[in-house]
Amino acid sequence: MISFITGTDWIAKLWIRLKSIRKNRQLELEEMNTVIFGDPVEIAKYYVEPDCQERNTADRSEGEHVVSREPVMKKIDQFFSCTVDHHGENQLFFLSDAGMGKTALLTMLKLRHLTAFWPLKKGCVLKKLGKTTLDEVSAIKNKMETILLLDSLDEDATAYGRVKERLLEILESTQHFFRVIITCRTQFFPKLEEDLMERLGWVSIDGFNCPVKYLSFFDDEMVTKYLNKRFPKKFGLLPPKKEIEEARKVIEKMGYLRCRPMLLSYIENLMKSPLIKEHNNEYRIYDALIQSWLYRDQQKIKEISVENLLDACIILAVYMQVKGKRSIDEEDLNCLIDKIAQVKPVKRIEVKGRSLLNLNSKGEYRFSHYSIQEFLVAKLLLEKPIYKLKQLLPVTDFIFRMITLSKKSPNFIKLLDFKGLNLSDAKLENIKMPGADFSGIDFSRAKLSGCDFCNADFSGANLEECTFKDCKLEGTKFTDANSKGLCLINTLEMRFIYIIPGEFMMGSPENEPGRFDNETRHRVILTEGFFMQTTPLTQGQWKAVMGNNPSHFENCGDDCPVENVSWDDAQKFIDKLNQRGEGTYRLPTEAEWEYAARAGSDAAYCFGDNESEISQYAWYDANSESSTHPVGKLEPNNWGLYDMHGNVWEWCHDRYGDHPSGSVTDPMEPDRGSYRVCRGGSWHGYALYCRSARRIRYSPDYRYYALGFRPVLLPGQQR
């Protein structure tokens, strides 16, 4: 056990000590500049210690619940001092959104080591994660006496499209160090298993159980501390009141973005921008920041316009993003200028201090923050395409957020590579991504509302429990996607679950209780998936389309199934529904209906053969009290479909005919016959009539107060 106490005034003490050793440690400070892409002394001068927490700051809206926050150094002290018993307990992750201070945190930890501020005889190594990092790490001697700081997993080119695999490589390569701290953007970090001991703030990956902390947003007190540092006292007097008041006016315009340290650090530039008075959207704030930089530079080089400077920076940013670079040396920049003359003005930008571009200790150009580079890329995608993109461009979570804020369809959408994104649990509205390639992306539990995904490709994507509400999906591909629980919701609030292609045994075995002769058992293969409404069509949905209510049990309410409708009536409803332009609907085939009803079960019911359990799933004669009931109130089957047993019989598309005896693929309805098939049982039938295999037939014009239906929606033609 090692005593590790930071104290409340550690930043002031560190700053005093740093100033006294600055000359002696110049080489180390310059090396840090190369790693962190910033001046460590500048970071220390204005640093305000943030809090951290066990919950993701984006999990719930601000103020919705109380989150336990602690000063970040207090948590790190505990991490350094605790006993390590299992794999991963010495490897800590700090996660946050862009601009929340992850790199600054590691910088301050390294400065604590350089200033001998720690009462600990341990080495400390700071690295930016990249292609060569693990080779460099393996060469470090005396690992058990070394603290390893690894910055920006989200900027590691070797992790793009394989972040979980890369993460495991890092954990295995660094497990023998005394302590390891790794930073990453939250949205880039993979969704891992919860800690085996169910500890809050821990994750598990292939035997490594690691602590995870999230950097908290600044609170108002921290913002005040920062402003007092940025506008310090003059001649021992109070801080300049005028500047702080002006800064606060700008901060008010920034809304919740005021809580991000990176944007706060450029408050002086934002104070000079006229754009900030008009907008508080994140895209506009970044735009204002860049315009203020470029306007300042343009005043010194009159012959070059702000527009030319901006175009040059955009092309440079796009080039670096395509190449997976965060910096570019003089030789490569000159080569780029030889190919694209528009880039030349970047050589005229002032690259010292807090500017748009700066130089590291190796003389390499880089943007002042990675999010600045990403924003310029987004600007090309969302505004005038001044540079013709020819190669795949990696889209980061920040670039994607800028696109979603704009509500525009981005330029070059066919060349956007989304493989580095993790969109699980995302809440996205009205984004326009027609033709985007989302293959392999994790969208699990995402809520997507009003989006345009026409002709987009979700092949191989994880769409488990994902919800598309009132989205345009004409021509969308879902091939080989994990579609368990995938849900579409149209403008009438009709919910449709995607039923994946597959095969099953249709009909019933000869020994099944209640079996009829028309239930010949045979194998059916369905090669196409489809969307099925999760409940029978309701009275409210019928009225919204048809303007009347034919139901016998009208007093049951809008959430009860529509009944007393014929097959012909159902067709009229579907015709009107299709005229709304939200997709192509129809009744399910008999094979589709039974496949969906069984939901993988070969038993008499979706839940098994035990008839005594049916009251949990179906309204039938023993529990219905001689009436229909609101849909979706009992248990669903394994595929999320309600009332497939009981409540109302459901019309199928097919004419009635005998089942074949052999295997069939995508069975078609019989060529002739005057009756149509109904399935599922109803509120006034016996339990045995609610079996998955039970079939009855009626004339297509027959109406009865136990007859309803549920539509299916054709894949590739949905909205």
Q: How far apart are CA 491 and CA 193, in angstroms?
A: 36
If we measure between CA atoms, which residue out of 496, 397, 479, 384 comes closest to residue 440? 479
pLDDT at 375: 95
Residue type, 94: F
If we measure between CA atoms, which residue out of 211, 215, 167, 218 comes closest to residue 190? 167
> In 503-555, where does DSSP find H-type helix?
539-546
pLDDT at 21: 83
Q: Flag whether 104 is in a domain.
A: yes
Tokens 């809050």, residue located: 200
Q: Which of 138-152, 188-202, 693-707 has the lowest mean pLDDT?
A: 188-202
Residue-wise pLDDT tens digits, 282-294: 888 899 889 888 8
- Inform me whether the pLDDT recorded for 171 exceeds 80: yes
- Written as one string, the DSSP assignment of 168-192 is HHHHHHHTTSSEEEEEEETTTS---
Neighbours of 285 (CB within 10 A): 25
Q: How far apart are CA 310 and CA 398, in angstroms?
A: 19
* Maximum CA extent, the chain: 100
If we measure between CA atoms, which residue out of 710, 684, 707 comes closest to residue 696? 707
Residue-wise pLDDT tens digits, 639-663: 999 999 999 999 999 999 999 999 9
- Inform me whether the pLDDT recorded for 685 exceeds 80: yes
Beta strands at 676-679 and 695-698: parallel, antiparallel or unpaired: antiparallel
Confidence band of 60 (pLDDT split at 50, 70, 90): very low
Q: How far apart are CA 215 and CA 72, in angstroms?
A: 8
Q: Flag whether 296 is in a domain.
A: yes
533-557: average pLDDT: 97
pLDDT at 702: 97
Neighbours of 640 (CB within 10 A): 18
**Share of residues in the chain with pLDDT > 90 (%):** 64
CB 673, CB 639: distance < 8 Å = no
More confident: 522 or 299: 522
Q: Which residues of 144-181 are buried (b: 16+ CB within 10 A; e: fewer)?
A: eebbbbbbbbbbbebbbeebeebbbebbebbeebbbbb
The rounded mean pLDDT for the chain is 90
User: CB neighbours of 113 closer than 8 A, spacing ≥ 6?
Assistant: 122, 123, 124, 147
End residue of a domain, out of 215, 230, 262:
215
What's the token pair of residue 324?
């997976």
pLDDT at 61: 43
Q: Flag whether 254 is in a domain.
A: no
Q: Which of 127-136, 406-415, 668-677 has the lowest mean pLDDT?
A: 668-677
Residue-wise pLDDT tens digits, 463-475: 999 999 988 888 8
Torsion angle defined by CA atoms of residues 76, 80, 85 and 91, in that order, rounded to the nearest 10 degrees = 60
Q: Flag whether 69 is in a domain.
A: yes
Q: Flag whether 576 is in a domain.
A: yes
Do 576 and 433 sit in the same domain of this protein? no
Do 542 and 572 sit in the same domain of this protein? yes
End residue of a domain, out of 180, 199, 215:
215
Tokens 């913002």, residue located: 223
Do 467 and 509 sit in the same domain of this protein? no
- Written as one string, the DSSP assignment of 124-171 is EEEEE-STTHHHHHHT-S-GGGEEEEEE-GGG-GGGTT-HHHHHHHHH
pLDDT at 512: 96
Do 463 and 560 sit in the same domain of this protein? no
SS3 call for 619: coil
Q: Flag whether 711 is in a domain.
A: yes
> What letter would DSSP give residue 276?
G
- Inform me whether the pLDDT recorded for 402 exceeds 90: yes
CB 214, CB 57: distance < 8 Å = yes
pLDDT at 250: 86
326-335: average pLDDT: 93
415-419: average pLDDT: 94
CB 539, CB 631: distance < 8 Å = no
381-404: average pLDDT: 93
Tokens 């700053």, residue located: 15
Q: How far apart are CA 465 and CA 360, in angstroms?
A: 46
End residue of a domain, out of 421, 452, 478:
478
Q: Which of 264-278, 440-454, 601-615, 618-632 has the lowest mean pLDDT?
A: 264-278
Say how many residues make up the chain.
Answer: 719
Do 52 and 127 sit in the same domain of this protein? yes
Q: How far apart are CA 157 and CA 212, in angstroms?
A: 22
Q: How far is CA 325 from CA 130, 131, 187, 387, 501, in A?
A: 10, 11, 20, 18, 43
- Inform me whether the pLDDT recorded for 179 exceeds 60: yes
CATH no. for residue 38? 3.40.50
Tokens 């943007």, residue located: 367
Q: Where are the beta strands (DSSP E) in 507-610?
A: 522-526, 530-533, 583-586
pLDDT at 238: 67
Confidence band of 361 (pLDDT split at 50, 70, 90): confident
Residue type, 610: N
Do 25 and 60 sit in the same domain of this protein? yes
End-to-end CA distance of the chain: 60
CB 422, CB 400: distance < 8 Å = no
Q: Which of 55-59, 317-321, 377-381 has the lowest mean pLDDT?
A: 55-59
Do 25 and 144 sit in the same domain of this protein? yes
Do 469 and 509 sit in the same domain of this protein? no
Do 368 and 515 sit in the same domain of this protein? no
User: CB neighbours of 167 closer than 8 A, spacing ≥ 6?
Assistant: 153, 159, 190, 205
Q: Flag whether 122 is in a domain.
A: yes
Do 516 and 603 sit in the same domain of this protein? yes
Q: φ, ψ for residue 414 (rounded to 5)?
A: -70, -15
If we measure between CA atoms, which residue out of 670, 673, 605 comes closest to residue 638? 605
351-372: average pLDDT: 83
> What letter would DSSP give residue 229?
H
CB 56, CB 236: distance < 8 Å = no
Do 468 and 566 sit in the same domain of this protein? no
Q: φ, ψ for residue 678 (rounded to 5)?
A: -125, 145
Domain around 626: 495-718
- Inform me whether the pLDDT recorded for 301 exceeds 90: no
- Inform me whether the pLDDT recorded for 242 exceeds 90: no
Q: Flag whether 233 is in a domain.
A: no
Do 330 and 186 sit in the same domain of this protein? no
Confidence band of 717 (pLDDT split at 50, 70, 90): low
pLDDT at 2: 39
Residue-wise pLDDT tens digits, 573-621: 999 999 998 889 999 999 999 999 999 999 999 999 999 999 999 999 9
- Inform me whether the pLDDT recorded for 353 exceeds 90: no
CATH no. for residue 511? 3.90.1580.10
Q: How many domains does the chain have?
A: 3
